[in-house]
A and B are shown apart, each in its own frame.
Chain A
Amino acid sequence: MFSDSELVLLRSILQQDLLKAIWETLYMTFVPAAAAFVIGLPLGVLLVTGDEGGIRPLPKALMKALNALINLLRSVPFLILLVVVLPVSKLLVGTTVGSKAMLAPLAIAAFPFVARLVETSIREVDAGVVEAAQSMGASTWEIITKVLIPEAKPALIANFLVALITIFGYGAMAGLLGGGGLGALAVNYGYYRRKEAVLYVMVILMIVLVQVFQSVGDRLVKKTDKRSR
């Protein structure tokens, strides 16, 4: 099926570059995911609590601006956003190529998505429970930290998993524009040099990684959720 020279190349890639590529892929997934989570969690909570009728309504204009910003960032396709944001990377890490340069664009692409996912997770919390906490004299901060986030935890984990896999996908795409990892190997060898064996192996590895993320995440959700026993 594949020529001998192709298989030799594949073997040398597997021996020399694979571990580094896997490491870069994980790095480009988890670091931006963590950053997106740190920004997206408070933002998503704010979208719920600051809403008209939320526990701490904020000025309508502010909420509209916030929603508009999130929608705007979400409507730009990732590769285009990447091109636009790369100068920021240059500023932050001094380069526009390699895995490190992809961190900021990935985080910027992911946090609005995470904010929306957090918003939907938090909205699922029964309003009655929030009301009960209010009737007990809980402050806004106490309601957020002791009611909204803990009660939404299973949904938050499940949705964060969705975000993680999306970021993983973006990271692979970043291979087209100078990023590293499995995506870069697949693009550089499989697309530009027509070495399909490398392409297929990379695709299989990526599928396996996603499966691992998903099944670990699913187990975590099941363990966390105390509603269905």
Chain B
Amino acid sequence: MIELRNLCKTFRSADHTVEALKDISLTIGDGEIFGVIGLSGAGKSTLVRCINLLERPDSGEVLVDGRDLTKLSSKELRKARKSISMIFQGFNLLMQRTALENVCFPLELAGVKREAAKKRAQELLQIVDLPDKAGAYPSQLSGGQKQRIAIARALASEPQVLLCDEATSALDPKTTQSILALLKKLNRELGVTVVVITHEMRVVEQICTRVAILDHGEVQETGLVSEVFSNPRSDAGRRLVLPEGEKIHVLPENRLVRLVFNGASAGEPIISTLAIEQGIRLNILSADTRSIGEKTFGEMVLGLPQDETEAARALLYLRELEGVTAEEVTSYVQ
């Protein structure tokens, strides 16, 4: 279990200071895939780098399995780091070593014998689906392949925790998908706790169970991904989930209903079903939905009919839909 308690970090330069982390507390459970999302400059990278103390917080505690890393000697810390692996946006492979030798690197640090290390590295390349690239140099590999090698290298020390610092941000969408699927598989099969730092919602949506929204060095909200993304309570959360949510429209004429899609079946035509089967016509005022796999996420604001009974029937229908939450609202955000 990772517990961050009251982390503070301020960067100072000659002309200005930046408070990167302001009293951050988070708990990440064993075996979970935890997301930290925020816009650039929110302090995400500083936060993740505090977990293995690549960045030392000014104050606060970093407890990994109950042990405060900030209190360890440098030798103990180096040992502790071997169970907390990290992958990076820029992959950070050794350019003068082959893929296999890169994976051997942490094994060398652990004092594993050369032959045993090579054998283990070959197995790890198998796990990341690149067994045939053992002899290739990083310059001969694509971005996705490099990240797979980096993941194999990160796994070599059999870590309990895998920190991913914007690990898919330099990759194209398709490669991102495959890397995320790999991380999910590793989490499931090896039980490794994964901490994902990203600015991309879809990354969190796809693999994380819980998420923390970070903004201006503060945790704005934490919760299950399904809850936070379908119903963000903080301003920062709303800005992330509804990117253009600035103008607020008030329509006093009609009653409004806000539908929150939280995994409703994408194939179901809600609006047309109401119109055709019940003869109730709804006005779509705003919609921001997306389909992930077979499911729909996001929200939609509908204007209910003037007629009270029709409005009530429509509400009833909408409230009974699976994977959709309907609530009456008085204003909406476009």
Contacts and interface: CB of A to CB of B under 8 A. Distances in A.
B148 interface: no
B79 A129 contact: no
B31 interface: no
6 interchain residue pairs of minimum CB distance? A137-B81, A132-B92, A137-B78, A128-B92, A135-B86, A226-B137
B81 A226 contact: no
B85 A136 contact: yes
Given A137-B78, A138-B78, A226-B139, A150 B92 contact: no
Interface in A189-229: 224-229
A126 interface: yes
B109 A129 contact: no
B137 A136 contact: no
B109 A226 contact: no
B157 A136 contact: yes
24 contacts: A126-B92, A128-B88, A129-B93, A129-B94, A129-B95, A131-B92, A132-B86, A135-B54, A135-B84, A135-B86, A136-B81, A136-B82, A136-B85, A136-B106, A137-B79, A138-B109, A139-B78, A146-B109, A147-B94, A150-B94, A150-B97, A154-B96, A224-B96, A228-B139
Given A228-B139, A229-B137, A135 B96 contact: no
A139 B81 CA distance: 11
> Interface residue tally of chain A, by bracket?
20 to 34
Interface of B: 52, 54, 77-82, 84-86, 88, 90, 92-98, 105-106, 108-109, 137, 139-140, 150, 157, 163
Interface string A130-145: 0111111111001000
Given A150-B94, A150-B96, 19 more contacts: A126-B92, A128-B90, A128-B92, A129-B92, A132-B86, A132-B150, A135-B54, A135-B84, A136-B106, A137-B78, A137-B109, A138-B109, A146-B108, A147-B94, A151-B94, A151-B96, A224-B96, A226-B137, A229-B140
For the residues of B in contact with A, the DSSP-based class is: mixed
Interface string A97-137: 00000000000000000000000000000101101111111
B85 A135 contact: yes
Interface centre among A134, A225, A226, A228 (most CB of B within 10 A): A226
A153 interface: yes
Given A146-B108, A226-B137, A228-B139, A135 B81 contact: yes
A131 B97 CA distance: 17
Contact of A132 (B82, B84, B88, B108): B88
A227 B106 contact: no
A227 to B, nearest CB: 5
A11 B104 CA distance: 60
A150 B150 CA distance: 18
B95 A226 contact: yes
A227 B90 CA distance: 15
Contacts of A132: 86, 88, 92-93, 150
Given A151-B95, A229-B137, A136 B88 contact: no
A139 B85 CA distance: 16
B202 to A, nearest CB: 25
Contacts of A153: 96
Q: Which among B97, B109, B137, B157 has the highest number of chain A CB atoms within 10 Å?
A: B109
Contacts of B86: 132, 135
B59 to A, nearest CB: 21
Contacts of A146: 105, 108-109
Report which residue of B80, B95, B106 has the largest number of chain A beta carbons within 10 angstroms of its beta carbon: B95
A146 B77 CA distance: 19
B204 to A, nearest CB: 22
Contacts of B79: 137
A14 B47 CA distance: 72
